[in-house]
Amino acid sequence: MPAPAPEPGADPGSGPELPVTFRPARTRAVLLSVGVAILATLTTVAMMLEGLGAGERASFVLTGLLFLGVLALLSRPKVVAEESGVTVVNLTTVRHLEWAEIIKVNLRPGDPWVLLDLADGTTLPAMGIQPGVAEQQAIRDAKALRALAESHGTGPSSR
């Protein structure tokens, strides 16, 4: 879901209106579509092949379900910004951060996704903003998240 544009006359550094969810929508659509297509194809093949037993047919369907599950897992990442902070959902982890914990939002050329520099000295990947398929959208989303972090947290504009 693209970040909404700031209201005319609003402070451009304040970012979009909260709550806002950043996720790679095109990548998600492609992954889920391919997963459903693989499942449908394997299920059709399993039903059309003569001479297969029930167990062999089930293995085709289970293989399709496995592919769909992996692709659904890959489509899971998102970043949700709310008044209380940011929730980063990556492949297998979910982490909620207070705004004050985010020192910097980085998306450098060649980065596969946004990296959040945190107050404890660590870096957290935010896979929900990734420039792979929609680079310009990822750049806009990274700038919007950066503006939110600066206006709500410890960024340069809040000091």
CATH code (residue 135): 2.30.29
Domain span at residue 64? 25-75
Q: How many domains does the chain have?
A: 2
Please report which helix (H) or strand (E) contains residue 123, including its range: strand 123-126
| Domain-embedded: residue 4 | no
Query: Domain check: are 82 and 141 in the same one?
Result: yes
| Domain-embedded: residue 138 | yes
End position of a domain, from candidates 75, 109, 141: 75
Residue 154 has a pLDDT of 60
| Domain-embedded: residue 63 | yes
Residue 12 has pLDDT above 80, yes or no: no
Is the sign of the CA dihedral 54, 59, 64, 66 positive or negative? positive
Query: Domain check: are 29 and 56 in the same one?
Result: yes
Average pLDDT rounded to a whole number, residues 109-115: 94
End position of a domain, from candidates 75, 102, 134: 75
Average pLDDT rounded to a whole number, residues 71-90: 96
Residue 4 has pLDDT above 60, yes or no: no
Q: Tell me the pLDDT tens digit for each residue of 20-71.
A: 999 999 999 999 999 999 999 999 999 999 999 999 999 999 999 999 999 9
Residue 7 has a pLDDT of 39
| Domain-embedded: residue 89 | yes
Residue 159 has pLDDT above 70, yes or no: no
Percent of the chain with pLDDT over 90: 78
| Domain-embedded: residue 60 | yes
Residue 134 has a pLDDT of 85
Query: Domain check: are 67 and 86 in the same one?
Result: no
| Domain-embedded: residue 7 | no
Query: Domain check: are 116 and 66 in the same one?
Result: no
Query: Domain check: are 105 and 143 in the same one?
Result: yes
Residue 86's nearest CA partner among 103, 73, 109 is 103
- Cα angle value 57/30/80 (rounded, 5°): 115
Query: Domain check: are 146 and 86 in the same one?
Result: yes
Amino acid letter, 71: L
End position of a domain, from candidates 53, 75, 97: 75
Statement: the pTM of the whole predicted model exceeds 0.95: no
- CA–CA separation, 138 and 130 (whole Å): 6
